[in-house]
Structure 1
Amino acid sequence: MAYSPAPDQGTDTNRNALYRRITLRLIPFIFICYLFNYLDRVNVGFAKLQMLDALKFSETVYGLGAGIFFIGYVLCGLPSNLALNRFGPRRWIALMMIAWGSLSTCLLFVTTPTEFYALRLLTGAAEAGFFPGVVLYLSRWFPAARRGRIMALFMSAIPVSGLLGGPFSGWILQHFAAGQHGLAGWQWMFLIQGLPTVALGVLAVFLLSDGYQKAAWLSPAERQLIAADLEADAAGKPSTTGDSVLAVLTNPLIWTFGFVYFCIQSGVYAINFWLPSIIKNMGFDNPLLIGWLSAIPYLLAGVFMILCGRSADLRNERRWHLVVPMLMGAIGLLIAVNFAGNPAIAILGLSIATMGALTGLPMFWPMPTALLSAGAAVAGLAIINSVGQMAGFLSPYLVGFIKDQTGSTDAALYSLAALIVLGSLVALRVTRAGALSTARAS
């Protein structure tokens, strides 16, 4: 065995302290921003409880409006990231938040389906660059060995947004149900949840730095340490020779991964947009109670996501840590459908579905990063994400259309469960070589 010098404990202690300080400086604010990002994206699920009757919209109109957001999201993701790189993360992230917060707030003025579609489309375009932009931003602060923990902290805003957003949205709808100052409860919800995003966008200008090089709160020695860590990462990456954009576009593995991610996201967005309505159909009419009941699946999902991620890291195994949650998502939907007359069992089913679907998100991304070279991953991961995000358009629209045709969401949930099972089988097939079982934790 080759001799390896003992680590410099002093340097390691300083490095850990430095990254801990950076984490405490950046992550809490970015976490709150992502929480409102996700809340502004899916709060139409609660607004639906009142706005459909108020505006005489059909279920199909709602499903199309909820889903058309993702057309703008998919189309503007890449241009937005290029703009972030051109103008700097601090200013571009601030501009995006002010734009989508304003557009989301303006949903309170909607009176026609066309206005609903237009605002949702524009809101999706404004939000498009936030998630990939933050991922890029964090990659310029933290070396690869620390990004898994950082991304877990960042993405935990998804279940937290459901945990807090459900009761909060339900309270707004109930408190303002009779209308105040000329606005209905659903209009107050868009106002109260949209304006904080605008305020956070303004704060981003003052609280974020474009990178460690421009962070006045870091010493020159600390900047040098970060630079050395990031340079070591870059030196260890494999060659990207031959990984052209054309080669990536014609690589069937990329599109296979995209299909698996699409299946996961189909379950996630069906739950995000329809969970309040499904709970209401169980016989619950009080918006606040619906909010509290909808928080239960997200609470359990947040805990399960952390435990599953820790298990995957400890066992250095990815394949089954993805497939099992996906199958949980499908089984949970089937339980919710078949026991809709028993609220306790139906809520349990929805909880299992939410736990599985949301946990599938962080468990998925180590798959393509483990099997794709660094060069292929640059364009490949963007394509995979775009294919997956199309589920945000198709899944809500499918549920709304089927409910209009049949009077029930049962057939739609059966279809989504079957799609998730198919995706899990494809995931098993594409990872059969076993490469993922030995992949490093991301």
Structure 2
Amino acid sequence: MAPEQPSPAGLDETYRRITWRLLPFLMFLWVLSWIDRVNIGFAKLQMLADLKFSETVYGIGAGIFFIGYFLCEVPSNLLLEHIGARKTIARITLLWGLCCVAMMFVTTAGLFYLLRFLLGVFEAGFYPGVILFLTYWYPTERRAKVFGLFMSASAIAGVIGGPLAGTIMTGLDGVNGWSGWQWVFLLEGIPSILAGIVTLFYLTDRPEKAGWLTPEQRALVAADLARDAAALGPREHRILASLRDVRVWQCIAIFFCIITANSALTFFGPSVVREAGYTDPLTIGWIMSGAYLCGAAGMILNGRHSDRSGEARFHCGIPALIGAMAIALLGVLVPISPALSIVALTVAIAGTMSAIPVFWQIPGRFLAGSAAAAGIALINAVANLAGFGAPAVMGALREQTGSAATGLWIVAGFEVATLLLILLFIPPAPAALVRRAAARAAHEPA
């Protein structure tokens, strides 16, 4: 027999309290992480000329981050399951901040590759670790919205990071004998170092340890999570079994296609904007800012609607398809119409990013406990190898052809495959989850 349904009003108030406690801080950390990961796309506008790097060198350096990321994702998430999120996330944040600052001292391609690789090693585990951490606090029918809120921070980072990088590069270029791109790495790395220290004192590993919840609220969450587990039915808990589970590898294929598009737009978005005719770094930053703002709105709204309907497949696949169509159009429009190419870029970013938080509803429907820790990390680690391949291929093709169009069309093909793979591999949600989502939506405000 499933555990008794707790009071909706009491649950909603408890989850609001949890959300206000955890999400703003986690989103702040993800903003810092995303800025420190992708500021290379803006630094490139000056860095390549200063250091005499080719587009191919840049593409390899931008993408090699994901090799380090791949190698350390699963161990990091298993460590989180063992020692807790607080210590794991603090360690990750502190080390990636130090590595970001070190990027200002790059002088050779070899050092560039090494520091980008180490940045991936140090950051590995943050994103899947937070996904796993949030499953300790929220039941299935509340997660897509929460994932959307958290992941929208990457879009917020785009809103902030573009103008910030543009302002630093134009305003501090030459100060203290440093180029603008060096100031970008220094000033954007220091906040991460400080945030890593704060994390040790702020985060709480699990609801039962949350002194900022009342005993009644902790009991409500425990009962709700138990009821959620009962509704999901039997799930895999064993680590090795999860790594062999064909459903994990199906999820890897789907997320690989999404990340192919996401990483290409992230690392080459500023270059595409410049190719469309906007050359000032600050202007490019503001254009990317507007595009990412639309991406943030899409992630939150799509995640919220997915939760209310209990449906995840089409809420992931349709935005990806829209993003694919926009990416394909972008390859045509860049040399023809600057204004329309910016519209297409915005739709591509919004569509691709809107698919991501809903995707993470899927693995939690068949994985739990240590299997979820390993499975989620494996999905994110292997799929993010697309983050190495896409920039490297985009850089090589752009150098050979003088245009981003061919690379964008290849990326669009991968994005179309997202929906096809979802329809082929992912079954509809269990009826019990759909009923729970409908029941909760009935008493929520529209």
Deviation for aligned residue 1:106: 0.7
The two structures have a TM-score, normalised by structure 1, of 0.89
Q: 2:67 aligns with which of 50, 66, 71?
A: 71
Q: Among the aligned pairs, what percent are the same residue? A: 42
1:264 aligns with 2:258: yes
Cα distance 1:286–1:240, how it changes in 2: closer, same or farther (>3 A)? Answer: closer
Counterpart residue identity of residue 378, structure 2: I
1:289 aligns with 2:283: yes
Counterpart residue identity of residue 322, structure 1: C
The two structures have a TM-score, normalised by structure 2, of 0.88
Deviation for aligned residue 1:145: 4.1
1:171-220 deviation line (CA, Å, top 9, x unaligned) = 1111123x101211000001111100111111112222233343333344
What is the CA–CA distance in structure 1 between the aligned matches of 2:372 and 2:207, rounded to whole Å?
A: 25
Deviation for aligned residue 1:311: 3.4
Secondary structure at the counterpart of residue 433 of structure 2: coil
Cα distance 1:209–1:426, how it changes in 2: closer, same or farther (>3 A)? Answer: closer
Q: 2:380 aligns with which of 385, 410, 427?
A: 385
Stretch deviating more after TM superposition (161-170 or 41-50): 161-170
Asked if the contact 1:273/1:396 (under 8 Å) is kept, the reply is yes
What is the CA–CA distance in structure 1 between the aligned matches of 2:432 and 2:60, rounded to whole Å?
A: 39
Cα distance 1:430–1:73, how it changes in 2: closer, same or farther (>3 A)? Answer: same
Secondary structure at the counterpart of residue 366 of structure 1: coil
Cα distance 1:190–1:254, how it changes in 2: closer, same or farther (>3 A)? Answer: same
1:301-325 deviation line (CA, Å, top 9, x unaligned) = 2222333333334444333322221
Counterpart position of 1:435: 428
Counterpart residue identity of residue 160, structure 2: L
Counterpart residue identity of residue 303, structure 1: A
Counterpart residue identity of residue 357, structure 1: T
Q: 1:206 aligns with which of 198, 201, 204?
A: 201
What is the CA–CA distance in structure 2 between the aligned matches of 1:439 and 1:275, rounded to whole Å?
A: 42
1:362-415 deviation line (CA, Å, top 9, x unaligned) = 232334445x46587665444322221111111111101111222222111111
Stretch deviating more after TM superposition (189-198 or 147-156): 147-156
What is the CA–CA distance in structure 1 between the aligned matches of 2:297 and 2:19, rounded to whole Å?
A: 21
Counterpart position of 2:442: none
Q: 1:56 aligns with which of 27, 52, 55?
A: 52
Counterpart position of 1:140: 136
Asked if the contact 1:316/1:437 (under 8 Å) is kept, the reply is no
What is the CA–CA distance in structure 2 between the aligned matches of 1:369 and 1:87, rounded to whole Å?
A: 21
Deviation for aligned residue 1:227: 3.3
1:320 aligns with 2:304: no
Counterpart position of 2:80: 84
Cα distance 1:255–1:439, how it changes in 2: closer, same or farther (>3 A)? Answer: farther
What is the CA–CA distance in structure 1 between the aligned matches of 2:361 and 2:129, rounded to whole Å?
A: 19
1:159 aligns with 2:155: yes
1:225-276 deviation line (CA, Å, top 9, x unaligned) = 33333344445552347x7666555554433331221111100010010111
When the two chains are superposed, the root-mean-square deviation of aligned CA atoms in Å is: 2.7
What is the CA–CA distance in structure 2 between the aligned matches of 1:387 and 1:295, rounded to whole Å?
A: 29
* Larger relative contact order (Cα-Cα within 8 Å, sequence gap ≥ 6): 2
1:174 aligns with 2:179: no
Q: 1:300 aligns with which of 289, 294, 301?
A: 294
Counterpart position of 2:190: 195
1:13-69 deviation line (CA, Å, top 9, x unaligned) = 444333322222222111101111111111110011010111111111111111111
Q: 1:331 aligns with which of 314, 320, 325?
A: 325
Cα distance 1:143–1:329, how it changes in 2: closer, same or farther (>3 A)? Answer: closer
What is the CA–CA distance in structure 2 between the aligned matches of 1:197 and 1:334, rounded to whole Å?
A: 36
Asked if the contact 2:90/2:196 (under 8 Å) is kept, the reply is yes
1:46 aligns with 2:42: yes
Counterpart position of 1:274: 268
Secondary structure at the counterpart of residue 277 of structure 2: coil
Stretch deviating more after TM superposition (134-143 or 90-99): 134-143
Unpaired runs of at least 5, structure 1: none
1:352 aligns with 2:309: no
1:24 aligns with 2:17: no
1:37 aligns with 2:33: yes
Secondary structure at the counterpart of residue 72 of structure 1: helix
Cα distance 1:260–1:135, how it changes in 2: closer, same or farther (>3 A)? Answer: closer
What is the CA–CA distance in structure 1 between the aligned matches of 2:402 and 2:199, rounded to whole Å?
A: 45
Counterpart residue identity of residue 121, structure 1: F
Asked if the contact 2:333/2:341 (under 8 Å) is kept, the reply is yes
Asked if the contact 2:306/2:315 (under 8 Å) is kept, the reply is yes
What is the CA–CA distance in structure 2 between the aligned matches of 1:48 and 1:439, rounded to whole Å?
A: 50
What is the CA–CA distance in structure 2 between the aligned matches of 1:73 and 1:295, rounded to whole Å?
A: 26
Asked if the contact 1:335/1:345 (under 8 Å) is kept, the reply is no
Cα distance 1:85–1:362, how it changes in 2: closer, same or farther (>3 A)? Answer: closer
Unpaired runs of at least 5, structure 2: 438-446
What is the CA–CA distance in structure 2 between the aligned matches of 1:317 and 1:225, rounded to whole Å?
A: 25
1:100-159 deviation line (CA, Å, top 9, x unaligned) = 101011100000111111111111111111122222323333344433332222111021
Q: 2:94 aligns with which of 90, 98, 101?
A: 98
Secondary structure at the counterpart of residue 60 of structure 1: helix
Cα distance 1:315–1:139, how it changes in 2: closer, same or farther (>3 A)? Answer: closer
Deviation for aligned residue 1:286: 0.8
Cα distance 1:129–1:253, how it changes in 2: closer, same or farther (>3 A)? Answer: closer
Aligned residues: 432
What is the CA–CA distance in structure 2 between the aligned matches of 1:82 and 1:313, rounded to whole Å?
A: 28
Secondary structure at the counterpart of residue 177 of structure 2: coil
Counterpart residue identity of residue 274, structure 2: K
Stretch deviating more after TM superposition (341-350 or 140-149): 140-149
Stretch deviating more after TM superposition (149-158 or 124-133): 149-158
